[in-house]
Amino acid sequence: MVGGFITSRGYREAKSRTVCARRLRDAVLVEEIVKIFDDNFRVYGIRKIWRAMRRTGWDIGREQTGRLMRLTGICGARRGRRPVTTRPSKVPDARPDLVNRQFRADRPNRLWVADITYVRTLSGFVYTAFVTDVYS
């Protein structure tokens, strides 16, 4: 076979061959790997799927598990780095403390405090700001 061409004799021989035992076993193993992968929220990698296969009684090697996972195009979730959400200032905080940490008010609308925070969502981080009357 040169350049992607095959002779007619080679084609007929390839068509008449039966499927080998390894391919049959690989097909069964791929079904089991995909089942374990889906049952575990599609996050298991090679090592965890290999261990799960061994626990359920399959005699399979780790390299074979990886080969079959690559063949089917599945891969586990990657951890990656955590995103930086706050960065410390290089200079000391120069903002004055106007209430001297005395968070008490004798009547409404005298002292207001605010804070900002972030919440992690499926699409990323969302920043939330709160403004509250200390009297309430």
Determine the pLDDT at residue 28: 97
Assign 3 a pLDDT band (cuts: 50, 70, 90): low
What domain range is 29 assigned to? 8-72
Tell whether 24 is covered by a domain: yes
Assign 2 a pLDDT band (cuts: 50, 70, 90): low
Determine the pLDDT at residue 76: 92
**Burial bucket for residue 119 (CB in 10 Å: 0-12, 13-18, 19+):** exposed
Number of domains forming the structure of the chain: 1
Residue 53 and residue 36: Cα distance in Å, rounded? 8
Tell whether 121 is covered by a domain: no
The SS3 of residue 116 is strand
Tell whether 77 is covered by a domain: no
**Burial bucket for residue 105 (CB in 10 Å: 0-12, 13-18, 19+):** middle
**53-69 per-position pLDDT tens digit:** 999 999 999 999 999 99
Examine the pLDDT at 136 and tell me if it is beyond 70. Answer: yes
Tell whether 123 is covered by a domain: no
| Alpha-carbon 56 to chain mean position | 25
Tell whether 44 is covered by a domain: yes
Determine the pLDDT at residue 112: 92
**23-56 per-position pLDDT tens digit:** 999 999 999 999 999 999 999 999 999 999 999 9
- Running DSSP on this structure, what letter comes out for residue 107? S
Tell whether 113 is covered by a domain: no
Count other C-beta atoms under 10 Å from residue 52's C-beta: 19
**79-135 per-position pLDDT tens digit:** 888 877 778 888 888 888 888 888 889 999 999 999 888 888 888 889 999 999 999
| Alpha-carbon 79 to chain mean position | 6
Q: pTM here?
A: 0.56
For the chain, the distance separating the N- and C-terminal CA atoms, rounded to the nearest angstrom, is: 83
